[in-house]
Amino acid sequence: MQNRVVCLMVVMAVAMSVASASSCSTFCKDPYLNIQGEYVCCDKNPGTCPERDECPPLAQEDVRQGIRFCHYDPECHPNEKCCFDICIKQKVCKLADP
């Protein structure tokens, strides 16, 4: 059973990469696999990252669970950018400034 799940995951990953690769123009090293020769789409979404001058008070745990961590813009929604957050000290998806 476990082999079937692993096999299904591999098939899905390949299918997703083939589907997204057709509309991608820029590829970067896959930060998750860290294997030589593995690349992912890293096209840039329109807009710029919003600037944050100060950190808000610590958010409630349920709010923080909604944060989407990322490495590249295509991991975010089309109207978002993958931006470094000075408070969290990691890259997260944020609504893009025009």
Count helices and strands in the chain by DSSP H and E runs: 2, 4
* Window from 3-17, 24-38, 42-56 with minimum mean pLDDT: 3-17
59 or 54, greater pLDDT: 54
pTM: 0.67
Query: In angstroms, rounded to a whole number, what is the distance separating the alpha carbons of residues 81 and 75?
Result: 9
